[in-house]
Structure 1
Amino acid sequence: MSFNKEKNLIVYFSRAGENYSGGKTVELAIGNTQLAAEILVQQTGCEAVKLETVNPYPDSYQEMSAIAQKEQRNGSRPRLAVYPPSLAEYEGIFLGYPIWWGTLPMAVLTFLEKFDFHNKTIYPFCTHEGSGLGRSMKDIALVCPGAELKEGLAVRGSDAASGQTAIVNWLDKVLR
């Protein structure tokens, strides 16, 4: 299979501010998932779209975490400020997100439920601080029937800035 950057898109959700890393909170100018997405852009040459909610999450990790847990319990779908205009021209979507409470943020589900992913390939990648992919692969499969779901990549958030080797190895594996 030959890779065509025009037929693939990177879509990711990331949050700056206080993040949990190595057992403590740290302040980030950009989120860990954005760091990983930027490495993907460098490696693939694909265009990237950052998902942002209409109502931004607070900078405080504790406050954000409480909201994320409540959204998950309630099955909320936070409104997004921007969507890609269409996914029709793309064959593959690199989908990036942090793991919040064992899965992807509800805002990412808002995005996934807006589009038809039949006959598309989804390449999930996430950042986490110990839970790996959590149950995100299962959750993506539930809302994207008809999509081919490739093996996901879980990058520890505290390693995201230096995750190039892991990302390159994953790309070699999933793009074969």
Structure 2
Amino acid sequence: MNEPNHSTARRRTILRAALLTPVTAMTVPHLAGCSPANDQPDRRKTSPSRAASVTARGKVLLAYFSRPGENYYYGDRTNLKVGNTEVMARKIRDLIGCDVYRIEPTDPYPESYGATVKRNVREQDADARPAIKGALPDLDEYGTVLLGSPIWNVRAPMIMTTFTEQLDFTGKTVVPFTTHAMSGMGTTARDYAASCRGATFADGLAVQGEEVDQANRDISAWLHRVGLRGS
């Protein structure tokens, strides 16, 4: 659910998307940001094709999944009218003026934090592909695709794989971003390398969910670093 944080750490984590691989399994399932204290990303290198920065060709599409409702908040719960990932997506859109596609499940996730945790665990265990509401975007006119999601139980929600597996990313640069508790980018490097056919990857950004409202400077610096925003 967006960004439950099982850690009390309050600092933002900016991680390089291509340096992260699976992490230790958790004894208790959590969501988005969604990780217990022993859940630390493995920083061994993976091998997706990488671009140092985004090549300036074609338009930019920002595709994201976000969940409002009851969320984890510094060891407690809070009710979010707008999910943390959507807050981050809006900040990116305002800075670079991209097209936006919101990934919405045909079967919406529950308002309850606990119920969403249980559903997410079932979907991960079954390697499920939750259905997406509405038509998918046509990537032909885009050179760059930003993929945004929370991190639930160490990885992006399974609906992100539903999305990426159905599209052809040949010749596109994929730029991931996540909101999280302490898992950073989680396993997105490995997962997107497997499901974004033909893509190259630029560095991603991970922001702690509870701190996304104050992340403007980090987001701006990251967009500049990957070549999506001028100085």
Q: When the two structures are superposed, what TM-score results if normalisation uses the length of structure 2? A: 0.73
**Larger helix fraction of residues:** 1
Aligned length: 175
Residue-by-residue CA offset, 1:45-89 (whole Å, 9 max, x unaligned): 011111100000001111101101110110000000034431111
Contact 1:83 1:111 in 2 (8 A): no
Q: 1:2 to 1:67 in 2, by over 3 A?
A: closer
Out of 131, 134, 142, the position equivalent to 2:186 is: 134
1:124 pairs, out of 166, 176, 182, with: 176
Corresponding position of 1:7 = 59
Partners of 1:127 and 1:103 lie apart in 2 by: 11
Percentage identity across paired residues of the two chains: 38
Counterpart amino acid of 1:160?
V
Gaps of 5+ in 1: none
Q: Which protein is bigger by CA-based radius of gyration?
A: 2
Of 154, 158, 162, the residue aligned with 1:102 is: 154
Cα displacement (A) at 1:2: 7.2
2:79 is equivalent to residue 34 of structure 1: no
1:102 positional shift: 0.4
Structure 1 residue 145, shift from structure 2 partner: 3.4
Find runs of 4+ consecutive structure 1 residues off by over 6 angstroms.
none
Q: 2: distance between equivalents of 1:123 and 1:2?
A: 12
Query: For 1:3-152, what aligned pairs fall within 5 Å after superposition?
Result: 3=56, 7-152=59-204
Return the structure number with greater relative CO, CA threshold 8 A, min gap 6: 2
Q: What's the RMSD between the two structures over aligned residues?
A: 1.5
Q: Give the distance between the partners of 2:198 and 2:107, measured in 1 at CA.
A: 31
Structure 2: gaps (5+ residues): 1-53
Query: Which structure shows the higher strand fraction?
Result: 1
